[in-house]
């Protein structure tokens, strides 16, 4: 019996070590207060992993806009907006002034617009090797496992956080990212009877997370932070939809 | 007289500029040698170039063989034929000598960066700091002579502290072509007055007075010389002695930040080029560091033995003198250099340099250090994928969405005005607005249904309009009424109506997507 307990200890110890090697931080390591709220509960040690790669999949142009909005929110929430970020893509349509609404100073984002997929990958890899950047957003559609592995190796050295946004991929193949997200717009909430459009609101699905628990949330971006839709508001919106 | 002499020598003891050295090259038979080079069968033929002048053919240039037989430029071709019936006369082209000299001057830039054309048949090189690369002035001159003679040119060469002395010794010297620093007076003493590059009539007058050598009048009172021969004689004398500055007018302006590496053997491999590049960058960056400068643009030139120049160029986003970084940037382009038969000289140039304060401020300010790393990353990207691939945006004071941002010119440029956030802007803005068809219940109201790319969308919520006028001082055109639209599935769009209903049915456009 005692022997089994000792074994468990060792296994737990090893699990923790593997976690930290994979880029997940222990509670003590975190010096920056993240403003992400319940999202973090899905991750090991309840800390949103930085210095790793996250994968986002968007099916269409509307989903891409929602996903980019959520990524911009994450950048602010993780206090990356204080440093310089690189935004790499091949048909970029991100409008810099809109980023200000997500708490990012648009002049701190350097956009790299490239024609070829190959160049996008090369640039993402070079950018992920640069320790001075706080985050790298890469927009592309296809990413093979081998390619993602290369990016992962770069990230392991530099501890730069990468957000890989895959727009309308042919297959949702396995890649070497820590998590896979899907973001979809939800109807915004406004008080009953009032005209207009409310704050951005999304259905955020965390489909895969290494060593964590997949989950889904309804999230609203308000006052420069994520707001989690309370049961009541959910109820209201559902009622509205029904009516 | 005695006093004067003393005075003169005292000045000569300390030349105006110790570091300056000039080489004069005189092509004695420039055009005729070139002709022999082109048509080797003319080697043993006595020939001249002649051009019509006042109705007769006058000899303009003579071959070495013709000169030996007593034919001089300026003689009438018909007279020469009577002296020497076998003489061949070719037509002279007036521009030929100039073109030839210019080409030779360019070729001679392998010996020194500043090469000037001197008269109709000579070159003047500012070789300060160059001869030691060839192992001394003697080897340097020898190399120049051997190379030019191997082309078939008859040349005379001299090196001295001043342009005047180098020219004089080159054209009239009869002992050594190598005039050591500060020895101009000694070198000039026995030369004829014509060696001072003075007008023919002054030379004539000097000779009439029996002053056949410079030593005959060099110590005469200056007042007397000026009165009798005019100020030009004194100027030329001072220039030759180094008491008056004479400037060279190089055919190509000298780039101050330049390093050169001549090779003993022609280089043909990429490894060889890399070694040369590394060496040159080391010396260049060391110099930049000393002067606290950084380069913005860098040229790496390879001179091939067949006379062609291969070159690669890079630019940087901010001044840099980081050897490894610059090496990486240039390394990407090394495959573009074609060594062909081999490269005999490498030159690295920094035509654009800017002040770059030393590493001190990176020590105090880590943001700056980060910026340097980012700038290096951007250099790498722009070097490989083009300058137009990297953008950074700043707010511009326009309401018109396409004009509300401008591209920042540098990495450090900060916004001059605040980003506007009071009105919603879509996270995705289409480069060109795309036409849509809409169903509108009441004019000036948002649509209830719209078709975008053939797909119908039901409008659930709408906000607006936000009217944005064309700026009449920039372009003509109709205003736009923007609406924020949310469809029944929750996706949000930015639509606009161009113009109003007064002039027929207005057009509607999709312009962006909200998050």
* pLDDT class of B95 with cuts at 50, 70, 90: confident
Is B515 within 8 Å of A114 when comparing Cβ atoms? no
Nearest to B269 by CA among B308, B300, B299, B302: B302
Residues constituting chain A: 243
Strand partners, A222: A225
Q: Tell me the percentage of chain A whose pLDDT exceeds 90.
A: 34
Which pLDDT does position A27 carry in this prediction?
Answer: 57
CB B49 within 8 A of CB B60: yes
| B114-157: pLDDT as tens digits | 899 988 889 999 998 888 888 889 999 999 999 999 998 999 99
Q: Which residue of A has its CA nearest to B370?
A: A132
Q: Which residue of A has its CA nearest to B425?
A: A98
- Determine which of A59, A110, A116 to mutate to test the interface with B (most B C-beta atoms within 10 Å): A110
Strand partners, B259: B348
Q: Could you tell me if A130 lies within 8 Å of chain B, comparing CB atoms? A: yes
Residue B209's SS3 state is coil
Which pLDDT does position B2 carry in this prediction?
Answer: 41
How far apart CA A74 and CA B144 sit, in angstroms, is 68
Residue numbers in A near B427 (CB within 8 A): 65, 68-69, 72, 94-95, 98-99, 102
Which residue of A98, A184, A186 is in closest CB contact with B427? A98
For the cut 60, the answer to whether the pLDDT of residue B369 exceeds it is no
CB A129 within 8 A of CB A154: yes
How far apart CA B167 and CA B137 sit, in angstroms, is 17
* pLDDT class of B68 with cuts at 50, 70, 90: confident
Which pLDDT does position A28 carry in this prediction?
Answer: 54
Task: Work out the angle at residue B313's Cα, subtended by the Cα atoms of residues B311 and B316, and round it to the nearest 5 degrees.
Answer: 165
DSSP-derived letter for residue A25 is: P
Strand partners, B116: B124
Q: Which two tokens stand for residue A33?
A: 């207060």
Q: Could you tell me if B463 lies within 8 Å of chain A, comparing CB atoms? A: yes
Is B515 within 8 Å of A127 when comparing Cβ atoms? no
For the cut 90, the answer to whether the pLDDT of residue B360 exceeds it is no
Strands (E), chain A: 53-58, 85-89, 109-113, 135-140, 161-167, 179-185, 201-209, 215-222, 225-228
Angle, in degrees to the nearest 10, between helices A117-129 and A145-158: 20
B481 vs B216, B273, B435, B451, B501, CA distance in Å?
A: 95, 61, 14, 18, 12
Q: For chain A, which residues score pLDDT lower than 50?
A: 31, 231-243
Segment B176-204 mean pLDDT: 89
Sort B61 into a burial class: Cβ within 10 Å, 0-12 / 13-18 / 19+: buried
Is B428 within 8 Å of A93 when comparing Cβ atoms? yes
Segment B57-84 mean pLDDT: 88
CB B35 within 8 A of CB B153: no
Q: Tell me the percentage of chain B whose pLDDT exceeds 90.
A: 30
Q: Could you tell me if A228 lies within 8 Å of chain B, comparing CB atoms? A: no
Distance from CA of A144 to the nearest CA of B (A): 22
Angle, in degrees to the nearest 10, between helices B323-331 and B366-385: 10
How far apart CA B37 and CA A54 sit, in angstroms, is 71
Residue numbers in A near B461 (CB within 8 A): 187-188, 190, 195-198
* pLDDT class of B370 with cuts at 50, 70, 90: low
Which residue of B384, B429, B461 is in closest CB contact with A93? B429
Residue numbers in A near B374 (CB within 8 A): 84, 110, 130, 132-133
CB A80 within 8 A of CB A55: no
Which pLDDT does position B427 carry in this prediction?
Answer: 93
Angle, in degrees to the nearest 10, between helices B96-107 and B30-38: 80
Which pLDDT does position B422 carry in this prediction?
Answer: 85
Q: Between residues 184 and 213 of chain A, which touch chain B (CB distance below 8 Å)?
A: 184-188, 190, 195-198, 200-202
Q: Could you tell me if B514 lies within 8 Å of chain A, comparing CB atoms? A: yes
**Which helix or strand (DSSP H or E) is residue B61 part of?**
strand B56-62
CB B406 within 8 A of CB B415: no
Cβ atoms < 10 Å from Cβ of B44: 8
Residue A43's SS3 state is coil
b/e code A47-76 from CB counts within 10 Å (16+ = b): bbbbebbbbbbbeebbbbbbbbbbbbbbbb
**Which helix or strand (DSSP H or E) is residue B226 part of?**
helix B222-229
For the cut 60, the answer to whether the pLDDT of residue B14 exceeds it is no
Which pLDDT does position B324 carry in this prediction?
Answer: 84
Which pLDDT does position A243 carry in this prediction?
Answer: 36
Which pLDDT does position B450 carry in this prediction?
Answer: 93
ipTM associated with this complex? 0.85
How far apart CA B337 and CA B330 sit, in angstroms, is 11
B202 vs A97, B73, B190, B227, CA distance in Å?
A: 78, 21, 18, 12
Segment B269-281 mean pLDDT: 91
DSSP per-residue string spanning B120-168? TTEEEEE-TT-GGGGTSHHHHHHHHHHHHHHTT--EEEEEESSHHHHHH
Residue linked to tokens 């700056």: B368
Cβ atoms < 10 Å from Cβ of B218: 20
Residue numbers in A near B425 (CB within 8 A): 95, 97-98, 101
Q: Which two tokens stand for residue A240?
A: 């509205």
Task: Work out the angle at residue A215's Cα, subtended by the Cα atoms of residues A209 and A217, and round it to the nearest 5 degrees.
Answer: 130
Which residue of B419, B460, B462 is in closest CB contact with A187? B460
Cβ atoms < 10 Å from Cβ of B353: 19
pLDDT, chain B, mean: 86
Q: Between residues 66 and 85 of chain A, which touch chain B (CB distance below 8 Å)?
A: 66, 68-70, 72, 83-84
Which pLDDT does position A235 carry in this prediction?
Answer: 35
List the strands of the sheet with A135-140, edge to edge: A225-228, A215-222, A201-209, A179-185, A53-58, A161-167, A135-140, A85-89, A109-113, B390-395, B405-407
Residue numbers in B near A190 (CB within 8 A): 461
Distance from CA of A106 to the nearest CA of B (A): 7
Which pLDDT does position A240 carry in this prediction?
Answer: 40
List the strands of the sheet with B122-126, edge to edge: B114-118, B122-126, B22-27, B155-160
How far apart CA B315 and CA B297 sit, in angstroms, is 4
Residue numbers in B near A102 (CB within 8 A): 427, 515
Q: Calculate the CA A104 to chain-centre distance.
A: 15
How far apart CA B266 and CA B288 sit, in angstroms, is 29
Which pLDDT does position A145 carry in this prediction?
Answer: 93
Q: Which residue of B has its CA nearest to A104?
A: B419
* pLDDT class of B10 with cuts at 50, 70, 90: very low
B357 vs B289, B349, B352, B401, B412, CA distance in Å?
A: 9, 21, 16, 39, 15
Q: Which two tokens stand for residue B115?
A: 């090469």
Residue numbers in A near B384 (CB within 8 A): 119, 122
Q: Calculate the CA A181 to chain-centre distance.
A: 7
Which pLDDT does position B167 carry in this prediction?
Answer: 93
Is A132 within 8 Å of B405 when comparing Cβ atoms? no
How far is it between the farthest Cα atoms of chain B?
Answer: 114
For the cut 80, the answer to whether the pLDDT of residue B412 exceeds it is no
CB B428 within 8 A of CB A143: no
pTM: 0.61
Task: Work out the angle at residue B247's Cα, subtended by the Cα atoms of residues B241 and B252, and round it to the nearest 5 degrees.
Answer: 140
Which pLDDT does position A91 carry in this prediction?
Answer: 79
How far apart CA A78 and CA B179 sit, in angstroms, is 74
Residue numbers in A near B377 (CB within 8 A): 86, 126-127, 130, 132-133
Segment B267-284 mean pLDDT: 91
How far apart CA B98 and CA B146 sit, in angstroms, is 23
């Amino acid at each position: 019996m005692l022997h089994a307990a000792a074994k468990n200890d060792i296994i737990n110890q090893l699990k923790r070590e593997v976690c930290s090697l994979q880029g997940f931080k222990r509670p003590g390591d975190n010096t920056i207060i993240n403003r992400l709220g319940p999202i973090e509960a899905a991750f090991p040690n309840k800390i949103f992993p930085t210095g790793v790669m996250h994968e986002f999949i968007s099916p269409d142009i509307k989903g891409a806009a929602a996903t980019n909005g959520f990524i911009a929110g994450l950048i602010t929430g993780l206090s990356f907006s204080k440093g310089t970020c690189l935004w790499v893509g091949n048909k970029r349509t991100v409008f810099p002034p809109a980023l200000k609404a997500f708490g990012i100073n648009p002049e701190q984002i350097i956009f790299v617009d490239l024609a070829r997929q190959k160049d996008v990958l090369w640039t993402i890899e070079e950018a992920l090797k640069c320790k001075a950047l706080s985050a790298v957003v890469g927009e592309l559609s296809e990413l093979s496992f081998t390619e993602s592995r290369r990016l992962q190796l770069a990230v392991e050295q530099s501890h730069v956080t990468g957000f890989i946004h895959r727009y309308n991929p042919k297959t949702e193949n396995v890649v070497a990212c820590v998590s896979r997200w899907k973001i979809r717009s939800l109807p915004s909430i406004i008080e009953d009877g009032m005209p207009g459009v409310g704050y951005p609101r999304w259905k955020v699905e965390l489909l895969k997370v290494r060593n964590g628990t997949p989950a889904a949330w309804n999230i609203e971006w308000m006052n420069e932070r994520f707001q989690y839709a309370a049961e009541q508001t959910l109820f209201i919106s559902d009622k509205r939809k029904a009516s | 007289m005695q006093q004067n002499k003393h005075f003169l020598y005292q000045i000569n003891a300390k030349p105006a500029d110790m570091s300056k050295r000039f080489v004069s090259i005189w092509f004695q038979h420039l055009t005729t040698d070139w002709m022999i080079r082109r048509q080797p069968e003319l080697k043993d033929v006595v020939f001249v170039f002649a051009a019509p002048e006042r109705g007769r053919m006058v000899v303009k240039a003579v071959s070495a063989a013709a000169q030996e037989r007593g034919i001089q430029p300026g003689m009438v071709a018909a007279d020469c034929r009577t002296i020497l019936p076998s003489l061949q006369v070719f037509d002279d082209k007036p521009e030929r000598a100039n073109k030839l000299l210019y080409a030779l001057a360019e070729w001679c830039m392998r010996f020194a960066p500043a090469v000037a054309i001197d008269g109709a048949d000579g070159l003047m090189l500012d070789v300060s700091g160059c001869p030691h690369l060839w192992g001394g002035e003697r080897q340097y001159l020898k190399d120049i002579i051997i190379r030019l003679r191997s082309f078939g040119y008859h040349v005379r060469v001299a090196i001295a502290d001043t342009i005047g002395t180098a020219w004089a010794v080159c054209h009239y010297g009869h002992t050594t072509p190598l005039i050591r620093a500060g020895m101009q007076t000694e070198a000039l003493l026995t030369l004829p007055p014509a060696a001072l590059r003075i007008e023919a009539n002054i030379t004539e007058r000097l000779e009439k007075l029996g002053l056949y050598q410079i030593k005959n009048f060099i110590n005469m009172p200056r007042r007397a010389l000026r009165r009798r021969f005019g100020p030009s004689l004194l100027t030329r004398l001072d220039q030759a002695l180094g008491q008056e500055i004479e400037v060279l007018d190089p055919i190509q302006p000298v780039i101050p930040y330049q390093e050169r590496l001549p090779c003993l053997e022609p280089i043909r491999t990429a490894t060889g080029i890399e070694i040369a590049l590394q060496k040159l960058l080391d010396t260049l960056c060391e110099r930049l560091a000393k002067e606290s400068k950084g380069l913005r643009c860098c040229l790496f030139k390879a001179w091939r033995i067949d006379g062609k120049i291969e070159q690669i160029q890079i630019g940087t986003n901010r001044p840099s003198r980081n050897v490894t970084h610059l090496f990486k940037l240039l390394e990407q382009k090394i495959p573009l250099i074609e060594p062909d038969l081999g490269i005999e000289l490498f030159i690295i140039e920094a035509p654009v340099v800017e002040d770059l304060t030393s590493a001190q401020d990176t020590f105090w300010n880590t943001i700056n250090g980060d910026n340097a790393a980012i700038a290096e990353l951007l250099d790498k990207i722009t070097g490989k994928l083009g300058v137009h691939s990297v953008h950074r945006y700043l707010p511009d004071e326009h309401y018109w969405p396409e004009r509300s941002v401008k591209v920042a010119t540098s990495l450090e440029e900060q916004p001059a005005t605040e980003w506007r956030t009071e009105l919603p802007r879509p996270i995705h803005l289409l480069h060109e607005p795309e036409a849509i068809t809409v169903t509108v219940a009441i004019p000036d109201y948002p649509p209830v249904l719209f078709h975008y790319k053939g797909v119908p969308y039901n409008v659930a919520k709408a906000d607006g309009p936000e009217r944005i006028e064309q700026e009449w001082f920039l372009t003509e055109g109709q205003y736009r009424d923007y609406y924020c639209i949310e469809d029944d599935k929750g996706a949000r769009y930015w639509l606009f109506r161009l113009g109003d209903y007064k002039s027929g049915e207005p057009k509607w456009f999709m312009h962006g997507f909200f998050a």
